[in-house]
Amino acid sequence: MVACVGESLIDIVNSRELVGGCPFNVALAASRLGAPVSYFGKVSSDRHGLMILERMIDNGVLFDPELCNTPEPTLCSKAVLDADGKASYVFDYKGTAACSITEAELSQSFSNEGDINLVFFGSISLVMEPGCKAIIEALEKMEGNPAFFLDPNVRPSMITDPEAYRKMILTLAGKSDLVRVSDEDLAFLCPDMDPDDAAQKLGRACKGALIVTRGAEGSSWLSRSFCVDCPAFIAGEVVDTIGCGDTFDGAVIAYLDRNALTGKIADLEKDTVREVLDYASKAAGLNCLSEGCDPPRRATGDELAM
Give 252-264 pLDDT, tens digit per residue: 999 999 999 999 9
CATH of the domain at 146: 3.40.1190.20
d(CA 116, CA 3): 7
Three-class HEC string of 91-142 = ECCCCCHHHCCCHHHHHHHHHHHCCCCEEEEEHHHHCCCCHHHHHHHHHHCC
d(CA 134, CA 55): 25
Strand partners, 4: 39, 120
Q: What is the residue range of 49's domain?
A: 2-305
| Residue 303 pLDDT greater than 90, yes or no | no
pTM reported for the whole predicted model = 0.95
| Residue 301 pLDDT greater than 70, yes or no | no
| Residue 300 pLDDT greater than 80, yes or no | no
d(CA 72, CA 95): 7
Q: What is the pLDDT of residue 153?
A: 96
Helix (H, G, I), strand (E, B) or coil at 70: strand
* Helices first, then strands: H and E counts in the chain: 9, 15
pLDDT, tens digit (0-9, with 9 covering 90-100), for 11-68: 888 888 999 999 999 999 999 999 999 999 999 999 999 999 999 999 999 999 999 9
CB within 8 Å of 87: residues ≥ 6 apart: 11, 13, 79, 80, 81, 240, 241, 242
Omega of the bond prior to 156 within 30 degrees of 0, cis? no
Mean pLDDT of the chain: 94
Domain count, the chain: 1
**Mean of the pLDDT values across residues 172-196?**
96
